Structure 1
Amino acid sequence: MKDDRLLEMRVFAAVVEAGAFTAAAQGLGVSQPFVSQTLQRLEARLGCKLLHRTTRGHRLTPEGETFLNAARRAVAAVEAAEAELQQSDEQISGPLRISAPIAFGLDRITPLMPAFLARYPSIALDLRLTDDTENLIEDRIDVAIRMGRLPDSGLMQRRLCDLRRIVVAAPALLAAHGKPDTPDALGALPCLAWDGSRDHLNRWPFTVAGAPVILRAESRFRSNQGMSLVEMCLAGFGVMRMAEHLARPAIAEGRLVQLLARETVADDGAIAAVFLPERHLVPRIRVFVDFLVEAFRDPDWDDAPRPD
């Protein structure tokens, strides 16, 4: 039997703490309709109003004040109970649902999972690979791996490592078109571009004589899935601005060449694990995030030689 009572309590508490449905939805990483519908179901189940809604916002009813205190105690009790019972690696148990970008998930997260599951034999792990940004509550995600500039969403986050992207091309492409020595010359080569929500990644930043230059990557081939762009780049179809965790090993193997290293602007983004604030004490979530932090403390792709 599906029991969403704890979820309803968390959503209700988030609305009260945020002061508005929209702000609560942003903090939880879910849609505003999801928050509204969850509160409606909760009030219908309890048979009373918890919030008085007005054009200026909302305020707690007497029943809402009583239920808020009880909800906070219930959520804290569940987290404390799990933390108290699960002290050793063998005792830490339960399902763990993880979301990660496809390329990073395949290249870096999946290879780590045998060691993690061997260390925690009572954890059952569900790894979802998608380039869409999933809602932690709606999609029931325990930990999501996010890349780039992380918004102030109200989610807790643990930084795993820096995220840097560099411009690369296959040797065959450069043999056919020549190696560009300026961003303008690079613009004459075929490029590879993101589609959909990742379109902002098609703005490639450079500096020329101290001045910022943005190259807009246009392409005959666009994709919303990073690994398809990587495969097309390796096949010599176009130039790509690629994450270093994929690019550096391919450069070391001679399958890719870095372009315009001096002119490329360094990213200020990161790769991070994010999760709901009240979930940080859940043992299986805590040990998974700690495991990732340790695994990426000194990324092996940073050891690859850099161009002079």
Structure 2
Amino acid sequence: MRVFQAVVATGGFGAAANALGVSQPFASQTIQRLEARLGTRLLHRTTRGHRLTEDGERFLDAARRVLEAVEAAEAEWQRSDAQVEGLLRVSVPIALGLDRITPLMPAYLERHPKVSLDLRLTDDVENLIDARIDLAVRMGRPTDSSLMHRRLCGLQRIVVATPELVARFGMPKRPADLARMPCVAWDGSREHLNRWKFVEDGEIVTFHAESRFRSNQGMSLYLMCLGGFGVMRVAEHLARPAVADGRLVQLLADRLLVDNTEIYALFLPDRRIVPRIRSFVEFMVEAFREPDWEIVGRGERSGA
């Protein structure tokens, strides 16, 4: 059942074998034996891949219920911290990883002394199977339906600049006023983040940020913003503390469209009961239950 579920989740025998740590012939033969035992075809096999038959869809639902019961029993047995051990490979965005996740890792490793942690900081969306990643922390709603996910917290992006830059160019009153100010801009796959959405007279308007300085790495853009080079639309976990201590000023706060970005932990379906993965997810859920940047943001808005 686990092999069958992995084949469906990953889209093929090779990928399922990699995810489960078995050979491709073993995965293929396991499905053949399962179909022979059930007396029905579970997968349509074509040169383009595999898709479920009607019987396969019904069996997948039944298999998920059975596996959830088995996993619950195993998780109860493995609940002791003594079972949390081994190498854990985690992929996180660079800015979030440096600013918020790395400072938490001493506490996690102290809690679980038998775990070794490989923390990979990258803004690339890595394939968990190909890169042999146990768990990824990502910003934005999950789009890969083959992955399990756990919400950690919400996150907004706000538009900020240094007080010196605002004094030089003036405080913008409307989104169009940003055109007279220098900005910093994303390059590459995150270029869509250069489109800043606002609400003006009940309508959504978009300001397209352009810049003489572009980067595919958020921390680089943030440092340029802090250095007074340009305006940036930046994640709250970086911006709120800098606004609170006066290094940055928020612009057009009453007109910015809320984007409802969220932070998630993602992992392969068959890995959710692995003690070291479960322990890391639970640790992160607790750590991000009430993010301190939201507390700072509430204090600013309430006048505290």
Q: TM-score range by the shorter chain?
A: 0.7 to 0.9
**Match status 1:213 vs 2:205:** yes
Aligned to 1:63: none
User: Which among 24, 35, 39 is matched to residue 42 of structure 1?
Assistant: 24
Cα distance in structure 2, aligned partners of 1:45 and 1:143: 23
- Provide, for residues 172-224 of structure 1, a one-character-per-residue CA deviation record: whole Å limited to 9, x for no partner: 21122111111000122111111111111111010001110011111111111
Shift of 1:54: 3.4
CA contact (8 A) 1:234 1:255 kept: yes
Q: Is the 8 A contact 1:147 1:270 kept in 2?
A: yes
The one-letter amino acid paired with 1:306 is E
Structure 1 95/44 Cα, relative in aligned 2: closer, same or farther at 3 Å?
A: closer
Q: Distance in 2 between matches of 1:38 and 1:99?
A: 18
Structure 1 unpaired stretches of 5+:
1-8, 19-23, 26-31, 61-67
The CA deviation at 1:44 is 9.5
> How far does residue 138 in structure 1 lie from its aligned partner after superposition?
0.6
State the identity as a percent.
61
| In 2: Cα distance, 1:48 partner to 1:264 partner | 54
Could you tell me which residue of structure 2 aligns to residue 133 of structure 1?
125
| 1:124 pairs with one of 116, 140, 150 | 116
Does structure 2 conserve the Cα–Cα contact (< 8 Å) formed by 1:82 and 1:283? Answer: no
2 CA distance for matches of 1:295 and 1:134? Answer: 24
Query: Structure 1: which amino acid aligns with 2:300?
Result: R
Structure 2 Cα separation of the partners of residues 80 and 37 of structure 1: 23
Q: Cα offset for 1:34? A: 6.7
Would you say the 8 A contact 1:93–1:120 is kept in 2?
Answer: yes
Give runs of aligned pairs for residues 130-169 of structure 1, distance below 5 A: 130-169=122-161
Q: What's the counterpart of residue 199 of structure 1?
A: 191
Q: Kindly tell me the number of residue pairs found equivalent between the two proteins.
A: 275
CA distance in 1, matches of 2:13, 2:183: 39
Deviation of the 1:43 alpha carbon: 3.6
Q: CA 1:54–1:150 in structure 2 vs 1: closer, same or farther (change >3 Å)?
A: closer
Please provide the CA RMSD for this pair.
3.3
- 1:269 maps to 2:261: yes
Shifted more, 152-161 versus 180-189: the winner is 152-161
SS of aligned partner of 2:83: coil
TM-score by length of 2: 0.79
Contact 2:83 2:275 in 1 (8 A): no
Gaps spanning 5+ residues in structure 2: where? 33-42, 53-59
Contact kept in structure 2, 1:79 and 1:279, CA below 8 Å:
no
The offset of 1:93, in angstroms, is 0.6
1:1-308 to structure 2, matched below 5 A, reads 10=3, 13-15=5-7, 17=8, 24-25=10-11, 35=15, 42-43=24-25, 53-54=45-46, 58=50, 83=75, 86-304=78-296, 305-307=299-301
Q: For 1:169 and 1:239, how far apart are their aligned partners in 2?
A: 5
Quick one: which amino acid aligns to residue 225 of structure 1? Q
Letter aligned with residue 42 of structure 1? Q
Stretches of 4+ moved more than 6 A in 1? 36-39, 44-49, 78-82
Q: For 1:303 and 1:215, locate their aligned partners in 2 and report how far apart those are by CA, in whole Å.
A: 28
TM-score, normalised to structure 1's length?
0.78
Q: Distance in 1 between matches of 2:189 and 2:279?
A: 31
Measure the CA separation in 1 of the matches of 2:183 and 2:141.
Answer: 24
Cα deviation for residue 53 of structure 1 reads 3.8
